[in-house]
Amino acid sequence: MRLSLKTCTWLALSAAAGCAPPARFVPAPERIDVTSPTSDGDAYVPVTAGAAALLGCAPPASPLLSPVCEIALPSAAEDSAFRIEGGRLRAHADSRCRQLGTAVAASLPGVRMYRKALVRNTGVGRLYGVGHTYEIDDTWLIRVARRIDDLNPRTLQEMTRTLRHEVSHTLGAIETPGADWSAEDYADSCR
């Protein structure tokens, strides 16, 4: 089994940044990582053993220490917003955004939610990991946080922006601006 963490999206105040470039796009199977899917979006289950090893959730680490160790299917509202976003992007004037829309539609079966952002304290402040993309056995797994913390939920608009950012990595977008569009370019320019 090949495991690799490709990216994570971090928010610091209103600025976003992430980590690591991706490989190629392979859509996720519909039921990956979830053993008992439900339609309400509230049934969290532990990530698979492979994902646990990659994300730092495997023993001796406690799965309760990191919010990324348990995932759930998107709620009906989240799923609807993500589907609408994919359709909207497929009709976008920019061909790069249309390509992103196709990738969003292909990625939807594997999108999962985690409860709240992963918090990382730095010397200058606190970063909130609100999304990440990783690959296991050539399958892309897209993850989006529902909340910043226990008191602050994220809006559907914020979650769809994170979805655009994370799915862009399946197209080869990198975190830092360069000659090609970065993940932030996709997230901001494909609105």
Query: Domain residues of the chain, as ranges?
Result: 3-189
Residue 158 is predicted with a pLDDT of 97
Residue-level pLDDT at 62: 66
| Contact predicate 48/41, CB 8 Å | no
Note the pLDDT of residue 122: 85
As a whole number of angstroms, the distance between CA 54 and CA 115 comes to: 18
Residue for token pair 């977008």 = 173
Q: Which pLDDT does position 15 carry in this prediction?
A: 35
pLDDT of residue 94: 97
Q: Going residue by residue through the chain, which has 191 residues, state the pLDDT in tens, using 9 for 90 and above.
A: 444 555 566 665 433 333 333 333 444 443 334 333 444 567 899 999 899 888 888 877 665 678 999 999 999 999 999 999 999 999 999 999 999 999 999 999 999 999 999 988 888 888 899 999 999 988 899 999 999 999 999 999 999 999 999 999 999 999 878 778 999 999 999 99
Note whether 60 and 52 are within 8 A (CB).
no
What's the CA gap between 22 and 16, in Å, rounded? 18
What is the pTM assigned to this prediction?
Answer: 0.80
The predicted structure's pLDDT at residue 7:
54
